[in-house]
Amino acid sequence: MATQASARPSVPRSRPIQRQASTRFDWAMAILSTVLVGGFYLDLWAHAHGRTDNTFFTPWHAVLYSRAWRRGASWRQSLPAGYGLSLLGVGLFVLGGAADLVWHVLFGVEFSVDALLSPTHLVLAAAGLLIVTGSLRAAWHDPLRTSRQWLPRIPAVLSLALALSIFTGFTQFVHPLVDPYAQVSPLASSARSEIYLVDADGAHQTRLTISHGASDASPAFSADGAFVVFTRSRAIAGRDPVADVFRMAADGSDVTRLSRAPRWYLGPLPSPDGQSVGVSFFRQDTRKWSIGLLPATGGDPRLLTDGQSNDILDGFSPDGTRLLFHSDREGDDQIYTIGVDGSGRSRLTSGPANWGGSWSADGQTIAFNSNRTGRLQIFTMSPDGSNQRRLLTSNADDWLPSWSPDGAKIAFNSNRGGHTQVYVAHADGSAQQNVVQNSGVQLDAWVPGWSADGRHLVYAATTNLPADATPFVRQALGAAGIIVQAALLIGVLLLGLRGGTLPVGSVTLIIGLNALLVSVLQDQYQLIPGAILAGVLGDILLWRLQPRIERPGSIRLFSVAVPVIVYACYFVSLQVTTGVGWSIHLWLGTIVVAGIIGLLLSYLAVPPAGVTTPVRA
């Protein structure tokens, strides 16, 4: 009598069959995939909140390789069915990370939407999708094992939720849980800038400050490079802005306020001896700008100009005995020098619009910008105003030059690429290089500052210009975001239905987990309960309809109803928390369009009868 073992068909050693995944393996991969996506969202949160942590890592190697290779078996046979592409995703992730480092060196660090659609970041996204969907593919390979009980099906459902979260993370710029444009519009505010540090060759851009509702601008290094001075301002409705002078360590820590009385300060510059900080500030009595000196330890400014004209500080002479400034005291803006005691004023330029001067370290040359050619261009001159000549030639505007400490290079602002960027050139104007290389930032209109060793530049920029005040932008982006996210959501749910991996409870898990991750990006936690309610209602619908491929009508009704439920709950949540700022025409119409998108996608997942059967002649 044959035993059970002897009745099994023999498998040749040279061609081993591929192993099926176990529930334990599915859970291990699902947990590690959750860690991956959690790290991705931690990285997104860090960038959205001013951190720059690099939280990507790849712990899946251990699990993927932990199933020992059998003798004579290839890696495809040793991995459980469905997880081969996950291993490929790990390799692609490593390659994408290396390519991203090279990309940053060549083209600069991305900000805002640039960072989401950067080609190397999209490679990382594709790798992540291959990794996190391993449990889903394993369930497709062995449907009997995962269909017996509800618990073994959770890893596959979690794969769907994580895949959706990768898609929503990279499309967060049109996501209603990140930017709820349908809420009552907040008051318009001016763009808020922050301070960045970059190597003189354009590498290693680092944010030094986080605005938190204020605007940090006009940064400048101290002569010893130990600290940076800057202004921090807040707009006040119906009043002049208040911008105080602050000091921080060169790494952005130890922020200290230097100015006492609230004033509107501009362009602080440490003196060469480190004993004072030159400032321009707006005087309420004359409604003009004056120049003064603040003690380096803090206090009130000592006046150097009388406030009868607009006087703006540009820089110190290398020995610290004179100040360079521009003024409209004789009509057009012209460049002057004055002693640090307020005496010995001397005019250096003539003609239209001369300003933005910088004194070279050897004291022999002053660089400045002038509009004498019809565009802002950079010129140089001797300290007495003689020998004026054009230094740079371009078809765009170049302005606010700044000499490096050794006098070998000059930094300046330019809009030659269509966006204002920081450039560095040799002292003779050659070898001009864009060191910011990012169209996603708008530079603060102030001079880039050199570190004492000439290795770094500090500048101010804003990455998010406010669109809140424009109703059309809020309506267009808000409606587009709902339509895009509705398509992504129903696409993932239909993928689960097609594979038979969408048990009751799945809709709540997928929508709830995704809402939890996305809402942290801009702290929209008040919208999470509405998303969870929508998931519960979606699961009730799933239980009642029991949509299956064999019943196309149930699939179509499910595909229409889920996005309608999700965004009906979304608008209810908005109304309860902040209020809906859209008209009934817009918000109700957007819900209807979301349902139509679901219906159209259902026809892609389950075509009408006869469409998939080719007609033979």
Task: Please answer whether residues 502 and 542 qualify as being in contact, where contact means their C-beta atoms are separated by less than 8 angstroms.
Answer: yes
Say whether both 287 and 426 belong to one domain: yes
| Distance from C-alpha of 278 to C-alpha of 293, rounded to nearest angstrom | 5
Same domain, yes or no: 362 and 477: no
Same domain, 297 and 369: yes
Question: Would 347 be classed as within a structural domain?
Answer: yes
**Statement to judge: residues 245 and 318 lie in one domain:** yes
Residue 10 lies in a domain: no
Average pLDDT over residues 410-424: 87
Q: What is the mean pLDDT of residues 323-348?
A: 94
186 lies in some domain: no
Shared domain for 163 and 201, answered yes or no, is no
Residue 423: CATH number of its domain: 2.120.10.30
**Which residues have C-beta within 8 Å of that of residue 463, sequence separation ≥ 6?**
111, 112, 194, 440, 441, 442
- Note whether residue 545 is domain-resident: yes
425 falls in which pLDDT band (50, 70, 90)? very high
Domain tally for the chain?
Answer: 3
Q: Tell me which of 151, 179, 207 is where a domain ends.
A: 179
Q: 272 phi and psi, to 5 degrees?
A: -60, -30
Of the residues 153, 179, 205, the one at which a domain ends: 179
- For residues 259 and 401, state if they share a domain: yes
Whether 131 and 248 map to the same domain: the answer is no
Between 11-25, 438-452, 493-507, 523-537, the lowest mean confidence (pLDDT) is in 11-25
206 with 144, same domain? no
Instruction: Dump pLDDT digits (tens) for 150-185.
Output: 777 888 899 999 999 999 999 998 899 998 888 876
Domain with 38 in it: 20-179
In a domain, residue 533? The reply is yes
Contacts of 123 (CB under 8 A, 6+ apart): 92, 95, 96, 99, 100
Q: What pLDDT, in 10s, does the model give residues 72-117?
A: 344 454 567 777 888 888 889 889 888 888 887 788 777 778 888 8
Distance of CA 24 to the CA centre of its chain: 37
Shared-domain flag, residues 281 and 173: no
Please tell me the distance from the alpha carbon of residue 495 to that of residue 302, in angstroms, as a whole number. Answer: 70
Domain co-membership, 150 together with 227: no
Bridge partner residues of 228 (DSSP): 221, 248
Same domain, 373 and 446: yes
Residue type at position 298: G
In our burial notation (b when 16+ CB lie closer than 10 A, e otherwise), range 137-149 reads: bbbbebeebbeee
Domain boundary (133, 150, 179) is at: 179
Residue 617 lies in a domain: no
pLDDT band with cut points at 50, 70 and 90 for residue 54: very low
Q: What is the pLDDT of residue 387?
A: 95
188 within domain boundaries: no
- Give the Cα separation of 595 and 566 in Å (integer): 10
pTM above 0.85, yes or no: no
Q: Same domain for 445 and 489?
A: no
The answer as to whether 205 is a domain residue is yes
Of the pLDDT bands very low, low, confident and very high (cuts 50, 70, 90), residue 444 is low
Q: What is the pLDDT of residues 249-298, one digit of tens each?
A: 999 999 999 998 888 999 999 999 999 999 999 998 889 999 999 999 99
Report the candidate in 188, 189, 208 with the shortest Cα–Cα distance to residue 197. 208
Give me the pLDDT at residue 265, please. Answer: 93
User: How many other CB atoms sit within 10 Å of the CB of residue 386?
Assistant: 8
The rounded mean pLDDT for the chain is 84
356-413: pLDDT as tens digits: 999 999 999 999 999 988 889 999 999 999 999 999 888 889 999 999 999 999 999 9
Distance CA 486, CA 591 (A): 9
Residue 415 reports pLDDT greater than 90: no
In the Cβ-directed half-sphere of 91, how many Cα atoms lie within 13 Å?
7
